[in-house]
Chain A
């Protein structure tokens, strides 16, 4: 029980810290303003959309729909469509997630809604 309060305490403090340093307009001292939230969400959706287009293009596009056409070309000894279906798309998937991780933390910071690093690490250690 004591531990529980400690955890919650940490998370509340984290919140206040950020508000002081970033100093954004917030409602009730706890939430980001409506329009800021909606801008953040739009930026998020746009970024997601772009990444999902790539996701679709390498897997369903290059690996399945256009695979026969791409097979005319060779890449690393593979017919290209075959390579995308059994290798290439998977590598792109990995890259996409890390691009997402980096891009999103930029967007988070730009809108001042990031989860602060140091405090959370402390939280992690306390609970593990």
Chain B
């Protein structure tokens, strides 16, 4: 069977499984719809959390980003796993004990204020939409490359599938599909990783392989070889970082705190039966996540080495098929600056911006681009996103592995998209309609509005996927920065400080939010030219500023709370109750 037929087969089978699960797990009540009835087994929830968390960015982009960042890629590895320790120890058990439906629920009740709830809803919707745009782009890339359909068609197929199981099954449908999607995506990630590890290092365990020696019998260490190759081409050594220590520190901290504050992750811990399950579930989630996250840096090393060796100094006609396939999609490009017909891959950007293809072929058959060349020797443009997707082809693995990766990429993108859609819909139907504007809503009406909200949010997300706004890549820092600077401190203080009152919490959230938002907007949009270490506050980049935002939030909240009246007795009793694991009930109905 051809690779494409296999891909259709694999994707078709997995989609059929997701829909079958959705039909089996239809949501009948708002409890089912928002928190899967509160009866999910902690291991299943851990799996679902892992799929929820590992998005198209983790599956498709992360290893590629690390491959090109080298050591500094650790900010993502540490940031996106270390956050789970904070989540497990500081938030999950207490939020489970609180036991309602959404994150704004907690903020609204703990701070006895509709204003606080609405601030939380705004943060949540902004964070989730930023995030979902990236998922839909991932779906589009996979469809257009592997199934050779238009990106728009691909996104619409993806939307159709997500709509069926998210609108029908709500959290219940999503939870069990996510568990299935985790199995698909981790299998799809590990199989090529193990193959490539054996190919490059001779070790079947990628985590050990990239610390070992090359399989070619030369006895040279993998990392040293890569360092040497890169230094020869004018890059920095792979194992040496380029970012300053303070910036690495701040980015890691912002990503960790942001991870723990992401609403679609937090809400997963509302679905388990009891407090100790929430703790255990966070542990399982991290186990499942760590399998991929400890493999990714190995894949990054192997892929970078493979990439250089299979492209550099090759005549265009001799480049492997994958190079031309990805060139057709527009994710790699070659500009023959010295007219020697060979690809020179060097440090530096080959030309400004993304490739602007004109409808013409050059002498060697390459697609001609209109961009003005830079004065570096580098002739090769490569989008980091292709590393994982192209890896099986780069390593010349069999067709079914390529097809598997396509199905895995879709599983990762769809599972995260569904989780995000659910928190958006819950925030609209539950927090805005039911709890703020229209308290008389019946459960049946609320459920209907929740489903409508999913449809509308999905439509918007689909538009983002078909017409990706140019700023998507720029605003990923937003999602984590804002979650770190707004939601995390408010929830943490709500549990650990009895004295924290609504004035303090709102002042803290607004300060953290405004500061982080302004800093990112200034450096990313208003004055991108000055986005360099010399201009940054304490040398911290916009990606890491959420850390400072969080510190500001804590400080302002503490000061304001001290100067204003303590929260009412009922709220203090609520805090006492949240702190005790015993007496947990199934989440409040309606």
> Which residues of chain B (257-284) have a CB below 8 Å from chain A?
273-277, 279-280, 282-283
Specify which of B77, B212, B256, B283 is in contact with A77 (CB 8 Å cutoff).
Answer: B212
Task: Give the secondary structure class of A's interface.
Answer: helix
B286 within 8 A of A: yes
Check B586–A7 contact: CB distance below 8 A.
yes
Candidates B88, B276, B290, B584; contact of A11 at CB < 8 Å: B584
Q: Does B399 sit at the interface, judged by CB under 8 A?
A: no
The answer to whether B279 touches A104, judged by C-beta atoms less than 8 angstroms apart, is yes
- CB-CB under 8 A from B77, the residues of chain A are 85-86, 89-90
Given A91-B290, A104-B279, decide whether A123 and B82 contact each other with a Cβ distance below 8 A. Answer: no
Residues 67-95 of A at the B interface (beta carbon under 8 Å) = 71, 76-79, 82-83, 85-87, 89-91, 93-94
Q: Smallest CB-CB separation from B253: which chain A residue?
A: A60
B275 proximity list for chain A (CB < 8 A): 115
- Please encode chain B, from 76 to 118, with 1 for each CB lying within 8 Å of some chain A CB and 0 for all others: 0110011011101110010000000000000000000000000
Contact indicator B38/A60 (Cβ below 8 Å): no
User: Does B156 have its Cβ within 8 Å of any Cβ on chain A?
Assistant: no
Which residues in A have their C-beta under 8 angstroms from that of B314?
Answer: none
Query: Which of B223, B256, B290 interacts with A90 by CB under 8 Å?
Result: B290
Q: Name A113's contact: one of B39, B277, B581 (CB within 8 Å).
A: B581
Q: How large is the interface on A (under 10, 10 to 19, 20 to 34, 35 or more residues)?
A: 35 or more
Cβ–Cβ contact B582 & A18, under 8 A: yes
Point out the residues of chain B lying under 8 angstroms from A77, CB to CB.
Answer: 208, 211-213, 221, 223
**C-alpha spacing A108/B582, complex, angstroms:** 9
- Known: A37-B576, A94-B283. Is A108-B85 also a contact (CB below 8 A)? no
Q: From the candidates B31, B223, B279, B294, name the one contacting A100 in the complex (CB within 8 A).
A: B279
Give the CA-CA distance A91 to B207 in the complex, in Å. Answer: 11
Partner-binding segment picked from B244-252, B506-514, B521-529: B244-252
Chain B stretch 129-170: residues in CB contact (< 8 A) with chain A: none
Asked if A96 and B85 sit within 8 Å, CB to CB, the answer is yes
Q: Which residue of B lies closest to A92 (CB)?
A: B85
- Residues of B contacting A100 with CB < 8 Å? 88-89, 279, 283
- Flag B320-348 by CB within 8 Å of A: 1 or 0 each: 00000000000000000000000000000
Residues of A near B74 (CB, < 8 A) are 63-64, 85-86
| Known contacts A93-B84, A128-B37: A48-B89 contact under CB 8 Å | yes
Say whether B88 contacts A97, CB under 8 Å.
yes
Q: Contact check: which of A76, A90, A101, A115 meets B582 at CB < 8 Å?
A: A115
CB distance from B296 to the nearest CB of A (A): 9
The A-contacting residues of B in range 424-441, CB under 8 angstroms, are none
Structural contact, A59 and B82, CB atoms closer than 8 A? yes
Contact with A along B524-555 (1 / 0, CB 8 A): 00000000000000000000000000000000
Contact status of A115 and B584, CB under 8 A, knowing A31-B576, A101-B283, A124-B273: yes
> Do B211 and A78 touch (CB < 8 A)?
yes
Interface residues of A in 25-67 (CB under 8 A from B): 30-32, 37, 40-41, 44, 48, 51-52, 55, 59-60, 63-65
Q: Please, which residue of chain B has its CB at the minimum distance from the CB of A54?
A: B85
Q: Which residues of A contact B277 (CB under 8 A)?
A: 120
Residues in A with CB closer than 8 Å to B90 are 48
Return B93 CB to nearest CB of chain A, in Å.
8
Cross-chain contact A85 with B287 (CB below 8 angstroms): no
Across the A-B interface, give the 6 residue pairs with the lowest CB-CB distance, nearest first. A77-B211, A128-B39, A85-B74, A97-B283, A124-B273, A11-B585
Q: What are 9 residue pairs bridging A and B, where the CB atoms are less than 8 Å apart in the complex?
A: A44-B579, A93-B82, A93-B286, A98-B283, A108-B582, A120-B277, A123-B273, A124-B39, A125-B39
- 17 further A-B pairs in the complex, CB-CB below 8 A; given A31-B576, A64-B252: A4-B589, A14-B583, A48-B89, A48-B90, A59-B78, A63-B74, A64-B245, A77-B208, A85-B74, A85-B77, A91-B290, A93-B286, A101-B279, A112-B582, A114-B276, A116-B582, A123-B39
